[in-house]
Structure 1
Amino acid sequence: MNSVQLLRGRLRPVLMGLLVGVACVTSVRADDGVALTSIDQVPDGVEVRGKQVAAYTWDDRQGKNLLVLAEQVSEREDDGTQSAFVYAAQYLIDGSRPKRVWMLYDDVQRCEFDAALRFDRGATKVTDLTGDGVTQATVGYSRTCTSDVSPNEFKLIMHVGKSQKYRLRGVDRYGAAWWDEEAGALRGMPLPTDCSVAGQQALVSQYKEQGTELPLPGCYGDEKDFAKAPEAYLAFMRQHWFALMQKQDAEWSQAQAQPSQPTEEDDTAP
């Protein structure tokens, strides 16, 4: 079952209440220079559904912002099914009580196989792409209900204020390649560099044995959400998507190419 947790803490003064007495504070920077501060404890009035996996604060023209990320995977039910969810929310915390700007919730219910939803922490970015002091918060996560090693659904979502949301939805690079023992090399379709339909189909024509279902592993389906968005939004999201997929592809490929470690039985066998 979904759990709701309200973490109690002192809210005033806002800046001191957030940054003093926190067990671990780490400053990082988004690509365009928006400063993020990672915190362990969120203030009173901030809702956290599931297990908190990250929380960040930053300043923009609207004031002091808080982004919280949480996940949960349930134990299996009596019928063997499993559920999971992810939760994210952005708050403004300059007033006497935090005010939620937006909330994200996605789940897999009663999965007969293995349910999983996980944030890609590297996808979390805060940007000011239009230079007006109003920031955009972007998060990304994978979603699956499967019994094998195969690519997951992946969503990269940018929120701008209370009502604007822009998404790229597709498939990640998990399980997209495998080690061919006979050839001594990785096999599988390479990471696409062009997610247009024509670009994906051109790649499929070179790797027919991989099938023709689109989007391909590492690609998103379309860019329809950005039809009326500032050009800078889509340019950033394209670049960010491919950077995340390149990292996933490198990590997965490296894991597959690692030689298997001998077991104790192998060591003692004649």
Structure 2
Amino acid sequence: MNSVQLLRGQLRPALMGLLMAVACVTTVRADDGVALTSIDQVPDGVEVRGKQVAAYTWDDHQGKNLLVLAEQVSERDDDGTQSAFVYAAQYLLSGDHPKRVWMLYDDVQHCQFDASLRFDMAATKVTDLSGDGITQATVGYSRTCTSDVSPNEFKLIMHVGKSQKYRLRGVDRVGASWWDEEAGALRGMPLPKDCSVAAQQALVSQYKEQGTELPLPGCYSEEKDFAKAPEGYLTFMRQHWFALMQKQDADWSQSQAQPQDPTDDEE
């Protein structure tokens, strides 16, 4: 055996290991999310309703895709009411003119209090859960018409192509806890770890909050949209929902925590 043959014999297992490692990374990346490129200006032919708050592009089996997100809160009408909406759309950027794949529009009309619809940017994610080059685009937003600080309606929506849509609808964690001056601690039920009705009712009983409506803050109401969906879709959406609620819960709790007294060294 000459030196070249020996070198090839030594490299072959190493190359095989490297190829397997690359394949594993690709699979994990599909689950972790497709890389998105943020852009400021959308191409001509892409409709934007309201004020653009984000736009992203990515490539998949269909070609180059664009996702645009927009929001708008109106001035109060003469009767004192207020309206607001969110808008999202995915476009396929192929040929001479962008082709819209799907559009999302939701609103609050003639709210007598404060109207608000806002995207949770952390919810925006594009995935290839099946690893076949066909991507899923997921967005999430809060929706409310209220005069106080209380949990908002929250929707997490996944679109796959033109016609497939899967939703989790529930309540976010804004206003779910508050600072108790006498106790010197935050009060309120913790973020549920399980959104089944039985688990939520058990939490209500544990904290003696009988009469509390379900879903609890941080939970969604049902999973019926996923009855015929690929199994991986519901698994991803559950994990994504709870990750978002954990972040919201941490951010809200931090904003409500009692500020520390300044030290002697501080002015």
Question: TM-score interval w.r.t. the shorter chain?
Answer: 0.7 to 0.9
What residue identity is the alignment partner of 2:126?
V
Question: Which structure has more helix as a fraction of its residues?
Answer: 2
CA distance in 1 between partners of 2:201 and 2:257 (Å): 28
Aligned to 1:164: 164
- 1:110-125 equivalences under 5 Å are 110-125=110-125
CA distance in 2 between partners of 1:73 and 1:188 (Å): 30
TM-score (norm 1): 0.84
TM-score (norm 2): 0.85
Deviations 1:33-63 (A, max 9, x none): 4110000000000000000000000000000
Size of the alignment, in residue pairs? 235
- 1:68-217 equivalences under 5 Å are 68-209=68-209, 211-217=211-217
Runs of 4+ residues over 3 Å off in structure 1? none
- 1:2-41 equivalences under 5 Å are 32-41=32-41
Whether the 8 Å CA contact 1:91–1:102 is kept in 2: the answer is: yes
CA distance in 2 between partners of 1:174 and 1:228 (Å): 32
Aligned to 2:59: 59
Whether the 8 Å CA contact 2:179–2:258 is kept in 1: the answer is: no
Relative to structure 1, the CA distance from residue 194 to residue 49 in structure 2 (aligned partners, 3 Å threshold; closer, same or farther) is same
Relative to structure 1, the CA distance from residue 260 to residue 146 in structure 2 (aligned partners, 3 Å threshold; closer, same or farther) is farther
The alpha carbon displacement at 1:212 in A equals 2.4
Structure 2 residue ranges without an equivalent (≥5): 1-28
Percent identical residues: 89
CA distance in 2 between partners of 1:34 and 1:148 (Å): 38
Cα RMSD between the aligned structures?
Answer: 1.6
Whether the 8 Å CA contact 1:188–1:210 is kept in 2: the answer is: no
CA distance in 1 between partners of 2:210 and 2:141 (Å): 25
The alpha carbon displacement at 1:209 in A equals 3.1
Whether the 8 Å CA contact 2:33–2:125 is kept in 1: the answer is: no
The alpha carbon displacement at 1:208 in A equals 2.3
